Amino acid sequence: MSLVRPAPRGRPDHQTRPPRNPLLLPLALILGGMLMGFLPGSVTSASGQVETEAGGQVETETGGQVETEAGRRAEGAAGDAVPQTAPPPPEIEARDTPSDRGENITVTWTPPPEDTGVGGPVFGYRIERGLSPEGPFEHIGQASPGATRYDDTNVADGLPYYYRVITLTASAEGTSGIGGPAIAAPQWINTNQWNVFIVLALLLGFNLYFIEHIKAGGKPFIRKIAGLEAINEAVGRATEMGRPILFVPGIQDMNDIQTVAGVTILSYIARTVAEYDSRLVVPTSRALVMTTARETVKEAFLAAGRPESYDESSIYYITDEQFGYVAGVNGYMVREKPATCFYMGAFFAESLILAETGNSIGAIQVAGTAMPAQLPFFVAACDYTLIGEELFAASAYLSGEPKQLGSIKGQDVGKFIGMLSVAVGVLVLSIAMITGWDPLVRVAEWIRIFWSTELA
Amino acid sequence: MKRIMWLGILAIILLVLALRTAQGHMLNPFDSFHGFGTWFAALLTLAIMSFLYNDNPVYRFAEHLFVGVSAAYWMVMGFWSTLVPNLFGKLWPSLTAKLFIPGIADQPRDPLWFLYFIPLVFGILLLLRLAPKGGYLSRWALALILGTTAGLRLIAFLTADFMGQIRATLNSVAGYVHPSLPGGTGVFSFEQMFWDVVSVIAIMAALSYFYFSKEHKGNFGRFSRVGIWVLMITFGAGFGYTVMGRIALLVGRVEFLLVDWLHVL
């Protein structure tokens, strides 16, 4: 359900852009100086796409063409030698696409009055590009009737480009004036994400505040996480039974946050294992995870005062192949029968296979993952499961470090703000929908715009 | 006795397979490479499935073969699809074209090609773990990987998991749209309102479960318990959905055995 204003006559509702909110301009001016750090690399641009006033999109030739009826008709018309009697677009402009990573130029034009959209006399537009205003011009793409914009994503930074747009009708063509020169360049600041900057600054500010607060002697309260309470019990059980402890750090590499969280928990488990003088086995499916796990466990054994008990060969690489790894770990499970199995990290289809095998050998199992599709399997087959963010909170809880504990507190404030925003936003939206009162509709719209991840 | 029984069953199966092959009902493994491949894949499938009974030498053979072949495969893939085009090809394109990929010579050289010395140096630092001295230098590379990962993912998680979720939840729960607004019919829908309210309450309750710095007691505790219910219902639905997907995988494998190998369907 959209909150856009009623459309002008003659155009469907979805043709109009949302109205510019009067609050945006002063807010943007105040925050203008604060906008920084959002590299254009994070911009998700609709590469090679044409926005039409009718809301439709047509991909360009360079980005993989989508044939449309209008496009085919336009192409057919373009193929014939026809006199230039069709009305050209009266205005054309070519400029570097703002807030992007470069290599992109936006061409905009004013459609002639004869362009009444799909089904009208204008079949579409052909966009041509040249390196000088005199030409030659090459055909780089086409747009549907009603289109006013074309993104050329096949350009080099630093070179001047010139464009012209040709109106296509059944029997004629009309060539616009020359637009340009336009020079593509990357921008350092993505002004389309100022709201992300505000939210990020707010959350990081809370994190820093609580970190300093805890460093200064503040006592944070962190609720108990059941799965973590079981770690000591699980390690103790393995020690009593004289069997090893298996730790599976998922099947993703170190560039996955879940693996990082899993390795942090491994540090605590390794320390407990060292204190109990038990045996820890960590098979990995990535070489980097193996390296990191070895470093982590080695330091944990050192911290526990038992460096001589550290066995590097018990942390080993199996294979990157998902089910090859599972076959290897399962084989180890049924042969060595570890008394305790930990699964902490990112898991996919192997989650249930691992957890069921662990269950079949009678191991006590503690799992933790933020993969929503795999959580049901762990919940069903394991004794304890760290659900989603509990996995990330667990490392902070275990370490007791001010930095991590402060982050947990800061994130909780972020969640509170999120819940408050939802409550207020839903309330305002509902009242706006019931009353249709214009100022309230505008406020509701602004709230939704603020939480959008990419502002236009 | 048990072993004899299993050996007997195995002998009967082999006999049936041999007869069917001799009669031309199945591919002969010695006739063509395709036939050999089909037989090999089918037997390995059965060997892996034998794990359902128990750990056994056949499973162990398949497991070790799978692990060994896949580890070697990924190592080769890593070399040819990452190191050669993304590192050697950027730093020394002509030499790479001469030794590995001839087509790479036609591509223009990256103007910032010298920056690729940074991953080269860090890659070498990682390998220093294998050296008797200087193993600690590998931590620098690890620190870079972990730090850049955390930084790069921060914005992605913030926008997708935090802001995106809030934005998606911001919907009216009135079940009514004023006629003056776009799409407004002026008709009240109780069903729409009910599900919108359920959706908002479920999200808020589930979110409250992940609130760590407040004890889950009293009203807040009761509300977060609703959140656990929401999570468990979601997990139940997810369980059923995923199991259906897994059954589809099993059907695909059984189809291979019955159609491609045994030719009974």
Whether the pLDDT of residue A78 is over 50: the answer is no
Residue B213 has phi, psi (to 5 degrees) of -95, 20
Q: What is the pLDDT of residues A90-100, one digit of tens each?
A: 788 899 988 88
Is A383 within the bounds of a domain? yes
So what's the pLDDT on residue A30? 39
Residues A254, B146: C-beta atoms closer than 8 Å: yes
Shared domain check, A160 and A228: no
User: Hey, which residues does A142 pair with through a beta bridge?
Assistant: A126
CATH of the domain at A343: 3.40.50
Q: How many domains does chain A divide into?
A: 2
Q: How far is B113 from chain A (nearest CA, A)?
A: 17
So what's the pLDDT on residue A25? 42
| Domain residue limits at A295 | 220-400
Is A15 within the bounds of a domain? no
How high does pLDDT run on average in chain A?
A: 80
B187: how many CB neighbours lie within 10 A of its CB?
A: 10
Is A52 within the bounds of a domain? yes
Of B222 and A61, the structure prediction assigns the larger pLDDT to B222
Helix axes B138-157, A287-303, angle to 10 degrees: 110
Q: How far is B94 from chain A (nearest CA, A)?
A: 23
Residues B210, A13: C-beta atoms closer than 8 Å: no
Among the residue ranges A81-90, A338-347, A410-419, B86-95, the one predicted with the least confidence is: A81-90
So what's the pLDDT on residue A81? 46
Shared domain check, A226 and A160: no
Shared domain check, A301 and A171: no
ipTM of the complex: 0.81
Of B189 and A76, the structure prediction assigns the larger pLDDT to B189
pLDDT confidence band for A11 (50 / 70 / 90): very low
Q: Which residues of B touch A373 (CB under 8 A)?
A: 238, 242
Compute the residue count for chain A: 456
Q: How far is A151 from chain B (nearest CA, A)?
A: 24
Whether the pLDDT of residue A56 is over 50: the answer is no
Whether the pLDDT of residue A123 is over 90: the answer is no
Is A75 within the bounds of a domain? yes
Q: Domain boundary residue among A357, A376, A400?
A: A400
Shared domain check, A176 and A112: yes
Shared domain check, A377 and A255: yes
So what's the pLDDT on residue B182? 84
Residues B211, A7: C-beta atoms closer than 8 Å: no
Is A114 within the bounds of a domain? yes
pLDDT confidence band for A20 (50 / 70 / 90): very low
So what's the pLDDT on residue B39? 92
Residues A376, B242: C-beta atoms closer than 8 Å: yes
Q: Domain boundary residue among A400, A427, A448?
A: A400
Section A381-389 average pLDDT: 92
Q: Which residues of B touch A4 (CB under 8 A)?
A: 182
Shared domain check, A134 and A69: yes
So what's the pLDDT on residue A2? 37
pLDDT confidence band for A64 (50 / 70 / 90): very low
Residue A281 has phi, psi (to 5 degrees) of -120, 130
Shared domain check, A110 and A66: yes
Shared domain check, A243 and A330: yes
Contact A333, A355 (CB under 8 A): no
So what's the pLDDT on residue B241? 87
Q: What is the pLDDT of residues B3-42, one digit of tens each?
A: 888 889 889 988 988 898 888 888 888 888 899 999 999 9
Shared domain check, A243 and A181: no
Section A416-433 average pLDDT: 93
So what's the pLDDT on residue A75? 46
So what's the pLDDT on residue B221? 93
Is A417 within the bounds of a domain? no
Structure tokens at B98: 């001469």
Shared domain check, A250 and A356: yes
Whether the pLDDT of residue A7 is over 50: the answer is no
Among candidates A42, A291, A453 on the partner chain, residue whose Cβ is nearest the Cβ of B142: A291
Q: Which amino acid is at A200?
A: L
Going from the first residue of chain B to its last (265 residues), give the mean pLDDT of each consecutive group of 10, the final group possibly shorter.
Answer: 85 90 87 90 92 87 94 92 89 86 74 90 87 82 84 86 90 89 86 93 94 91 94 92 85 90 84
Please give the Cα distance from B240 to B249 (Å, whole number). 15
User: Hey, which residues does A168 pair with through a beta bridge?
Assistant: A124, A173
Q: How far is B52 from chain A (nearest CA, A)?
A: 10
pLDDT confidence band for A455 (50 / 70 / 90): low
CATH of the domain at A52: 2.60.40.10
Please give the Cα distance from B28 to B31 (Å, whole number). 5
H or E segment to which residue A411 belongs: helix A402-435
Whether the pLDDT of residue A86 is over 60: the answer is yes
So what's the pLDDT on residue A456? 53
In what side-by-side order are the strands of the sheet with A105-110?
A91-96, A105-110, A149-152
Nearest CA in chain B to A292: B142
